[in-house]
Amino acid sequence: MVEAFMGNFLRARPERAFCHICLSKMLDITFQDALSAIERLGGVESFNVSAGECSNCEQHRVVARFIPSS
């Protein structure tokens, strides 16, 4: 499952946020698979999708991340 793979990738980097384009390249998946995985992860607690700077390309885009619990 792509969303499990992406979820593990993002959980391992809680201080970082990545745009859909970079996630698809870094995880070697299609852009559509990245979009679908992010959509399915949307219901997971502490998962966040919002506007921000991508930690990889440093562009201001929609980024996905897990926000560490306090």
Where are the domains positioned within the chain?
A: 2-66
Spatial neighbors of 53 by CB under 8 A, at least 6 apart, are 17, 59, 60, 61, 63
| Backbone angles phi and psi of 68, in degrees to 5 | -60, 140
- Specify the fold of 2-66: Arc Repressor Mutant, subunit A (1.10.10)
Mutual angle of helices 2-11 and 31-41, in 10-degree steps:
70
Taking residues 46-59, report their average pLDDT: 96
Residue 70 — very low, low, confident or very high, per pLDDT cuts 50/70/90? low
Query: What is the per-residue pLDDT for 11?
Result: 93
* Cβ(41)–Cβ(33) below 8 Å: no
Mean of pLDDT values over 45-54: 95
What's residue 21's pLDDT?
96
Taking CA atoms, 37 is separated from 31, 34, 70, in Å, by 10, 5, 25
